[in-house]
Structures are given as C-alpha cells and as structure tokens.
Amino acid sequence: MKSHFIHLCSKNLIVWLGSVGIGRASHGVQTVLWRSCSQYKQVATNEDLPVTVENPYKEPNKKCILCGKPVDYKNVQLLSQFVSPFTGCIYGRHITGLCGKKQKEITKAIKWAQIMGFIPVTYKDPAYLKDPKICNIKY
C-alpha cells in the first residue's frame, strides 16, 4: 500500500515528499517510513495558549491600618469604629483586620474610655453612627 504526503516547511514552502511506503513489521504492527524536510522546524506560538488574567474578585491583602499610629483612650471617634452599634461589643480581630498588638491596644483603650465615661458600654454613641467605616465591617 502506498500513500502520498505533502509537508509544510517553516518558510511556508510546500515540499513534496513523494511516495511513502507503508509496510508490515514482523509482529503485525504497521510501520511508516518517510523522509523529513531539512528546513522543518516546529514553531511554538502563544496564540493557542490560554491567556492569564488575574482574578478580578480577589480581595487585596489585609494590612493593619493602625500600625505606626498612636491609640489613645481619649480619641472616642476612633475607638467607636471598633464597637458594635447595636450591642456595644468590641469587634474581634477577624472583623477589624488589626494586628494582635493594635487589637489589644484598642481593646484596652475602649475599656478604659468606658470606665472613664467617654464611651457608653451597652451601645454605640449615636453621634458616631454616620462616621465612615475604617475596617471591613459588613452590616
């Protein structure tokens, strides 16, 4: 059985390889014998590869917003950002996004401000309800 092959080289030239013989090996497996083009080079193009795109829904890395800034029990407007408006409870680290050191400072400052009477204990002061949110609180 004979078949004919046409081969495309890298310079867009069509090279006729002529007749190619297909024979049988001793174990019943078909073998194909052909000549290769000396100019043929496999060219990899990036057209068929998938395009890499960053995840548009990925949230940016969390960073402590108070590192390098002093925390004082008299700064009631800052401290009220870390208190629940409904219960007066202090938000945890997983909500505020603060580092451990600053979360501890905020907690101590809020407790001290509550003892001194600057912040109500059971609710958030209504004067600070419309302040912009500085931490990732979704309510």
Query: In the block, which residue shows the tokens 């013989």?
Result: 21
pTM for the complete prediction?
0.53
CATH 4.10.640.10 assigned to domain 79-128? The reply is yes
Question: For residue 9, what are its two tokens?
Answer: 């080289």
Average confidence score pLDDT of the chain: 75
Query: In the prediction, which pLDDT does 5 show?
Result: 47
Instruction: Please write the tens of the pLDDT for every residue from 71-119.
Output: 999 999 899 989 988 888 999 988 888 999 999 999 999 999 999 999 9
Query: In the prediction, which pLDDT does 108 show?
Result: 97
Question: Taking the domains of the chain in order of start, what are their residue ranges?
Answer: 79-128
Torsion region of 32: left, alpha or beta (phi above 0 gives left; psi -120 to 50 gives alpha): beta
Question: What's the CA gap between 40 and 54, in Å, rounded?
Answer: 37
SS3 assignment, position 128: helix
Between residues 38 and 12, the one the model is more confident about? 38
Instruction: Please write the tens of the pLDDT for every residue from 46-63.
Output: 777 888 888 989 888 777
Q: Dihedral through CA 86, CA 92, CA 98, CA 100, nearest 10?
A: 150
Question: What's the CA gap between 54 and 44, in Å, rounded?
Answer: 24
